[in-house]
Amino acid sequence: MSNVIIVGGHGKVAQLATPLLVEAGHKVTSIIRDSDQEDTIKDLSATPLLLDVESATQDDFAKAFAGQDAVVWAAGAGGGNPERTYAVDRDAAIASMDAAQGAEAMRYIMVSYYGSSLNHGVDEDNAFYPYAQSKALADEHLMDSDLHWTILGPGMLTLDEPTGMIRRVGRMADENLAEGDSSDTSRANVARSIVAALSSEKTLNTIVDFVDGDTPIEDVLS
- Flag the least confident range among 79-93, 124-138, 174-188: 174-188
- pLDDT per position as a tens digit, 198-217: 999 999 999 999 999 999 99
> At residue 193, does pLDDT exceed 90?
yes
pTM value? 0.95
Note the residue count of the chain: 222
Q: Residue 24 class from Cβ within 10 Å (0-12 exposed, 13-18 middle, 19+ buried)?
A: middle
CATH of residue 159:
3.40.50.720
> At residue 80, does pLDDT exceed 90?
no
pLDDT at 217: 98
Query: Could you give the number of structural domains in the chain?
Result: 1
Task: Report the alpha-carbon distance of residue 5 to residue 64 in Å, rounded.
Answer: 8
Average pLDDT for residues 112-139, to the nearest whole number? 94
Domain extent at residue 163 = 3-220
Cβ atoms of residues 30 and 73 within 8 Å: no
- Residue 1 banded pLDDT, cuts 50, 70, 90: low
Relative orientation angle of helices 58-65 and 93-102, to the nearest 10 degrees:
50
> At residue 127, does pLDDT exceed 70?
yes
- pLDDT per position as a tens digit, 38-62: 999 999 999 999 999 999 999 999 9
| Residue 164: Cβ within 10 Å count | 14
- Flag the least confident range among 79-93, 131-145, 160-174: 160-174
